[in-house]
Amino acid sequence: MSDLPGIVITGASGRMGQMLMKTVLASDKARLVGAVERPGHDWIGRDAGAAMGGAAVGVTVTDDPLEAFAQAQAVIDFTAPAATTHFAELAAQARAVHVIGTTGLGPADLDRLEWAAHHAVIVRAGNMSLGVNLLVQLTKKVAAALDADWDIEVVEAHHRMKVDAPSGTALMLGAAAAEGRGTTLDHARVSGRDGITGARARGSIGFSAIRGGDIVGEHDVIFATEGERITLRHIATDRAIFARGALKAALWGQDKRPGQYDMLDVLGL
């Protein structure tokens, strides 16, 4: 039996779930030991590879996360907030590293993750790609260099199936801009303008979301002032960038102390 870290993928049939399983199966640094879907899903009981339309891989899709997590060194989870908070408690029980890509988590969800992080490693980021995490740091720097005469707007575009807005990435970028400016996003955030909104509040950070077709993920951070404008942009064309980052996080977390980490920790940025 291999001593490579064993990985469980939750939300196995999803857009990211399938990409994650393919990434782990192709890796020589980890092995796929489990695939979890929600109860009642038609993949339950099927071989994960065959369910994806390929060769059998010897991993049966299950709706019993605790049994799957008990055999794993890491759980990679791109699902939905209610599932992720439940999985955090189970991963903590199993002492497995929990890599969370799920977005749209609210304050109560984040409190539950805080509890779980007392017992196990959690790595969470609204975007696991190298490019976006670099853009986060660039955004912080640019915001720190410019005063509030420069208006900051974050514009994001995603596929028609995305259920949360603004995207997790947009919120990361907005938080970085706020930090660079010496404020918080709670204080500066303005989302979804509509109707007679009045003039823009000085120092605010605005968010706009586009949803359509199969857009993987596009983010602009716009710094606009009288007579000039700077745009920092990231365009994702392949979900493999998120899966590669998530697997890197799962391996990185193996020798870390319990607590919450993000991709800036993993990438050393």
Ligand X SMILES: O=C(O)C1=N[C@H](C(=O)O)C[C@H](O)C1
Closest CB to ligand NAI among 151 and 253? 253
- Which residue in 162, 219, 234, 248 is the catalytic one? 162
In the bound complex, which residue of the shown chain has the CB atom lying closest to ligand X? Answer: 217
Distance between CA atoms of residues 48 and 52, nearest Å: 6
Q: Which among ligand X, ligand NAI, none contacts residue 11 (Cβ within 5 to 8 A by kind)? A: ligand NAI
Q: Is 65 in the site for ligand X (CB under 6 A)?
A: no
Site for ligand X in 99-138 (CB under 6 A): 103, 126-127
Q: For ligand NAI, which stretch binds (CB under 6 A), given 75-83, 138-146, 190-198, 247-255?
A: 75-83
Closest CB to ligand NAI among 69 and 78? 78
Q: Long-range contacts for 42-48 (Cβ within 8 Å, ≥24 apart)?
A: 43/12, 43/13, 48/12, 48/21
Q: Shortest Cβ distance from residue 39 to ligand NAI (Å)?
A: 8
In the set 62, 73, 85, 103, which binds ligand NAI (CB under 6 A)?
103
- 101 belongs to an annotated ligand binding site: yes
Q: Which among ligand NAI, ligand X, none contacts residue 158 (Cβ within 5 to 8 A by kind)? A: ligand X
- 172 belongs to an annotated ligand binding site: no
Q: Give the residue from 47, 112, 61 showing the smallest Cα distance to 83.
A: 112
- Which residue in 22, 98, 140, 158 is the catalytic one? 158
Site for ligand NAI in 183-222 (CB under 6 A): none
Site for ligand X in 140-169 (CB under 6 A): 158, 162, 167-169
158 catalytic? Reply is yes
Q: Give the residue from 219, 143, 230 showing the smallest Cα distance to 188.
A: 143
Amino acid at 213: G
The answer to whether 20 and 246 are in contact (CB under 8 A) is yes
- 16 belongs to an annotated ligand binding site: yes
162 catalytic? Reply is yes
Q: Shortest Cβ distance from residue 109 to ligand X (Å)?
A: 14
Closest CB to ligand X among 57 and 266? 266
Closest CB to ligand NAI among 34 and 180? 34
Residue 178: C-alpha distances to residues 129, 227, 245 (Å)? 21, 23, 25
Number of chain residues interacting with ligand NAI (CB under 6 A):
25
Distance between CA atoms of residues 181 and 122, nearest Å: 28
| Site of interaction with ligand NAI (CB under 6 A) | 10-11, 13-17, 36-38, 41, 78-80, 83, 101-104, 125-128, 168, 242
Interface ranges with ligand X (CB under 6 A)? 103, 126-127, 158, 162, 167-169, 217
